[in-house]
Amino acid sequence: MKKIILILAIYFMVTPTFALAEELTLDNRKLVEEFGANIFKEKLDSYDPKELGLWYLKRKYHQKWDSVKNDEFEFDDTKIWAFEQLKKRLESIEPIDKKAKYHLYLSASFGKYDFKQKRFPIKRALTKRGYMSYWGQGEFVFASPSSNLMFANIDESVNYIPMEKEKAKAFVKSRKDKYGNVARDILAHYIYTIINYKEKTKFKSNGEPMTINFKANLESVEFMSKDKKTIFHKSIFSKSDPKEEEKKSVDTKIAKKREKRPIKWIKVDKDKCQSQGGEIKEGICNVNWHQADKICKGLDARVPKIADFKDLVQECNGSLPAKQERRTLSPLSMITSSVEIKNIKNIPYQRCLKKHAIPQEDVSYWSDFIGRGRATRFSFNRASERYINADSKREMYVVCVE
């Protein structure tokens, strides 16, 4: 099986010691470039030839780009020429061996002996929060430590060297100098396979080279002397199934969404509304924000959060505005948005809201207090929110959630 050594720097560790350069079969930056080239190669048909050609023209043939950019006809032809050059370049790239084993040497150290468990704990070894950072050469992959390598099956419980007391005593003594200092530095040798790699940033024709997110499965770790001649302990990792990991991730996201949804939406009746000085308009309680807060608390409930409203919109299969549209629209805007048109025509959406005690979709409802005297309000047709002075006497409609 092909063996490749990829040595990277880890943010919270001492830089690895590259003691035996002859073990390296590829320079790490060159290897990273090969991954980036393969990503381009696999997705080549999905890119616009002129956009990709422009990107490669700027990256690889900057002087040529500078000489043709002012002549739109020559510029257009040169983008296609650059795309053809890129295709030729990618044809020379070997495909990644998916079964390849990668080697990683990291500086680590052993801590004070644990007499109860009869072992030395390992410091500065890989942990669940750890990630590797690496560079490309700038042709396909960004030439800065902006790409990341994560391990799917890190197990921190393997970070130790077992040793009986008498042997451990002699081990420490052998590493002590004449001043009593103990040399505790060792190497951690990891063997792993890459199970997934993908473009981290979306490609833009006027953008920078890509950055890559890698995911890997660890096979084993050997804690050894810095000269690599003595192995103190070796541990085997349990493999992570990529499909199972993806399923767990999806299940977790679904569970979190369900947790966020309110249990019950409550319509405020006439008596409760009027007890706080409010009045019923069009069948809905109309009050200021502080009255709304008191009414909901009196029902052992609360004023809904914006997230509650948006969750209900999604639950009822309504439409939410895009980010750029949310900046310009509010419940009081006179502009009829595309989202509002969709929601007005969506009869099942309106029926679903009524089942959740939302009698009307075209009015604004009070939302939660956000501090500094400000609250928010929400419109179901526009599916958008707006800030408002909570201390003002302005009245809005109220529903509660428990």
pLDDT digits (tens, 9 = 90+) for 201-214: 777 776 788 888 88
pLDDT of residue 261: 53
Q: pTM (2 decimals)?
A: 0.55
SS3 391: coil
Mean pLDDT of the residues in the chain: 80
What are the structure tokens assigned to 262, written together?
């309110």
pLDDT of residue 227: 93
CB 232 within 8 A of CB 161: yes
CB 394 within 8 A of CB 374: no
pLDDT of residue 185: 96
pLDDT digits (tens, 9 = 90+) for 223-280: 999 999 999 999 999 876 555 555 555 555 555 555 555 578 898 999 999 998 888 8
pLDDT of residue 313: 87
pLDDT of residue 258: 52
Give me the torsion for CA of 117, 123, 129, 134, rounded to 10°. -150
Q: What is the mean pLDDT of residues 178-183?
A: 95
Least confident of 99-113, 141-155, 314-328: 314-328
pLDDT digits (tens, 9 = 90+) for 323-359: 544 444 444 444 456 778 888 888 888 888 888 878 7
Residue with the bigger pLDDT between 373 and 306: it is 306
Least confident of 26-40, 144-158, 340-354, 367-381: 367-381
Of the spans 26-40, 165-179, 198-212, which averages the highest pLDDT?
A: 165-179
pLDDT of residue 139: 87
**Structure confidence at residue 162 as a pLDDT band (50, 70, 90):** very high
Strands 265-267 and 231-236, sheet pairing: unpaired
Q: What angle do CA 343, 344, 349 make, to 5 degrees?
A: 55
User: In 127-175, where does DSSP find H-type helix?
Assistant: 165-174
Q: What is the mean pLDDT of residues 152-162?
A: 93
CB 320 within 8 A of CB 330: no
Element (H, E) at 144: none
Q: Which of 146, 140, 136, 133 is nearest to 209 (CA)?
A: 140
pLDDT of residue 5: 43
pLDDT of residue 336: 55
Q: What structural domains does the chain harbor?
A: 3-247 (no CATH), 260-401 (3.10.100.10)
Share of the chain above pLDDT 70, in %: 79
Q: Is the pLDDT of residue 97 over 50?
A: yes
pLDDT of residue 246: 55
pLDDT of residue 245: 54
Rounded-to-integer distance, Cα 285 and Cα 363, Å: 12
